């Protein structure tokens, strides 16, 4: 006789999610998707006008029930702003169930030995892309542990954290650090029922790079590096982020999902 199977659900009704860098690109796509599947969403970014506009758009176009989207202007690389995000989420929704560390910058593209590859650029990229993940996750998981109901942490890394791409030394180092941090956090937070995983996108078209990919020659060159011979979309990252935030990925922790169209297998 077959055991009764409980089929997985992507429903996030009753959950509260924080999405950093949630006003554009991948962050907005993930925040909108979570809202559409019932979650209360707290999105953050450093520019107030962008935060207000993104939150208003989600509340108007993606909310499906009594859930809401709250925007908080914050830099996750600053402890005072991190405290503001956590207190804002608790004040509005009473708990935190999901954290997506998406905020990031690419920094300058420059060879290591060039003058343009500066200490200032390295510090900027590492502060945003790695220190921000450390600070906000530490604060959020303290709250999750106090709640006693577990939680999900999803870190947005990159294919660049797995391969040594030329000219993006600080970006690659920061994203590799995110993968390592994901593993350490998964080990330490498992006792609280908190899973920690990462997503590593490859070439995905977003508002930040669409001007570059509008160049037909550049786009063709990038597409040729992938097995699928095309670039990825925001929705193709938001979908896996939804699955990872749901009960579907409850037994996965300390690893990453690679979304690169087959670039890493040689195209």
Active site residue 34: no
C-alpha to C-alpha distances, 147 to 79, 151, 170, 192, 194, nearest whole angstrom: 21, 9, 36, 10, 11
Burial zone of 148 (CB within 10 Å; 0-12 exposed, 13-18 middle, 19+ buried): exposed
Active site residue 175: yes
Residue from 34, 62, 171, 203 carrying the catalytic annotation: 171
Alpha-carbon span 233 to 29, nearest angstrom: 10
| CA dihedral sign, ordered 145, 151, 51, 138 | positive
DSSP single-letter state for residue 127? I
Active site residue 158: no
Residue from 34, 152, 175, 203 carrying the catalytic annotation: 175
Residue from 76, 157, 158, 246 carrying the catalytic annotation: 157
Alpha-carbon span 123 to 112, nearest angstrom: 14
**Site of tokens 């509340």:** 59
Q: Which two tokens stand for residue 107?
A: 């920094």
Alpha-carbon span 9 to 6, nearest angstrom: 9
Contact 193, 173 (CB under 8 A): no
Question: What is the separation of C-alpha 238 from the centre of its chain, rounded to a whole number of angstroms?
Answer: 9
Residues shown for the chain: 267
**Site of tokens 């990453």:** 256
Q: Which two tokens stand for residue 36?
A: 């559409």
- Give catalytic residues, as residue numbers: 157, 171, 175
């Amino acid at each position: 006789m077959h055991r009764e199977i409980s089929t997985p659900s992507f429903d996030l009704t009753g959950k509260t999610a924080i999405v950093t860098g949630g006003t554009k690109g991948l962050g907005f796509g993930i925040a909108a998707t979570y809202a559409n599947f019932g979650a209360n969403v707290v999105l953050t970014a450093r520019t107030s006008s962008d935060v207000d506009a993104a939150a208003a758009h989600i509340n108007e176009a993606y909310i499906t029930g009594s859930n809401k989207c709250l925007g908080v202007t914050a830099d996750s690389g600053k402890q005072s702003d991190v405290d503001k995000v956590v207190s804002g989420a608790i004040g509005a929704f009473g708990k935190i169930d999901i954290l997506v560390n998406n905020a990031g910058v690419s920094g300058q593209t420059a060879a290591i030995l060039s003058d343009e590859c500066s200490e200032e650029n390295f510090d900027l990229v590492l502060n945003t892309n790695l220190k921000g993940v450390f600070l906000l996750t530490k604060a959020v998981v303290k709250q999750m542990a106090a709640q006693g109901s577990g939680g999900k942490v999803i870190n947005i890394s990159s294919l660049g954290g797995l391969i040594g791409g030329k000219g993006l030394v600080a970006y690659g180092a920061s994203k590799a650090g995110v993968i390592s941090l994901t593993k350490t956090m998964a080990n330490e937070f498992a006792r609280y029922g908190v899973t920690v995983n990462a997503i590593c996108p490859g070439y995905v078209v977003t508002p930040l790079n669409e001007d570059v990919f509008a160049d037909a020659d550049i786009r063709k060159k990038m597409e040729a590096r992938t097995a699928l011979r095309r670039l990825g979309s925001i929705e193709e990252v938001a979908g896996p982020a939804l699955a990872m935030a749901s009960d579907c990925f409850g037994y996965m922790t300390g690893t990453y999902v690679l979304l690169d169209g087959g670039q890493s297998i040689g195209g």
